Amino acid sequence: MLTDLTGFRFLELPVLVTECVLSTMHPIEIINFAKSHPTCDKITYSLFKRHRYFISLEIGKIPRIWFRRPGFHYVSEAQNSEPNQTPIQCLKIIQELFDDSTCILNSKLTNVVFSIDSFCSTDNKNTIDWLKSRSSGTMILACIEGENVEEDLNYFLQEIKITKALAIHVSGLKNLLPGIPRDLEYLEILHGQWITLDILLSFNFAELQMQNLVLTNQDWNMFFQKWMKSECHLKLKSVKAQLNEEGVLENILEGIDFTYINSPKEFSKQEGNVVLLHSGVKIVRNDEVVASIFQLLIEGSLAILMEVLRK
């Protein structure tokens, strides 16, 4: 039902003032305003055609939608209107809100966090199909969570092209998934027990972060040697990985030429529970590209950090 706008003085304000007021409102309030009358919809569409929102979705037991544009950041979650409402019913509320935002606010879906074990396989595939239809099959960033959901994860990677960053927080994987794009800027693996030396050498991401690995110190030694010979990871900027074995940095780099860094590493952003165990060393690739290597203690676990310094 359309709202009677008689006496609605807000619409009598100059266009610039009206747009300034609208731009500071919560996206859901803007959507409700636009749906109240075609005139309101026209004003809203004109404004957000120029100042669109970018959308992130959190799909899980409590689905959420995040609205972002320069200077503004809002989040809304599906509220249970009924006591026994299921996660998939809550997700439908968020999906409807997203569809309204794309029509009214000219929003674009860029990121998704998908707890893929929150739903059954059929619901997962329906949700992935919905994501594909709403994102033109491409997305900037995705984080996939869950346990023993390899089939659904493969389907996600098959249907959705990730263009920049992918975080796989899925346990129970046994091998490298064929659908992982090889041209990503960033890959994060939380449960990396399946990563062998051969798989590590096959990666060619700009930034790589891995935990729960079974790689040995000898594997890392071979990795550094291969990198120094320009045989792997030519576009690497950094790699941070949890170490599976004890050992000082010099032992890991046995047989490799390196020089010590005179001044200790200073982290530009202090990370929680990160302790620097070694002031660091530098190694040089055969094309004179230099990399710094540090040994860390992250939340009680040994880790290694390699940062490549471009020419």
Tens-level pLDDT at each residue, the chain (311 residues):
455 555 567 777 787 888 888 888 889 988 988 888 888 888 888 888 888 889 999 999 889 999 998 888 888 877 655 567 788 888 999 999 999 999 888 888 999 999 998 899 999 999 999 999 988 778 898 999 999 899 999 999 999 999 999 999 999 898 888 888 888 999 999 999 999 999 999 999 999 999 999 999 999 999 999 999 999 999 999 999 999 888 788 889 999 999 998 665 554 445 556 777 767 899 999 999 999 999 888 777 889 999 998 65
d(CA 3, CA 229): 71
Q: What do you get for the CA distance between the two ends of the chain, in Å?
A: 64
| Domains of the chain by residue range | 1-50, 52-191
Collapsed DSSP state (helix, strand, coil) of residue 108: strand
Spatial distance between the Cα atoms of 81 and 62, rounded to a whole number of angstroms: 13
User: Can you tell me which residue has the tokens 């199909």?
Assistant: 129
User: What pTM was computed for the model?
Assistant: 0.85
Rounded to whole angstroms, how far apart are CA atoms 274 and 292?
A: 17
Beta carbons within 8 Å of 190's beta carbon, 6+ residues apart? 167, 168, 169, 170, 171, 211, 212
Q: In whole angstroms, how large is the CA radius of gyration of the chain?
A: 24
CA distances from 102 to 107, 210, 250 (A): 4, 35, 55
Q: In CATH, what class is 52-191?
A: alpha beta
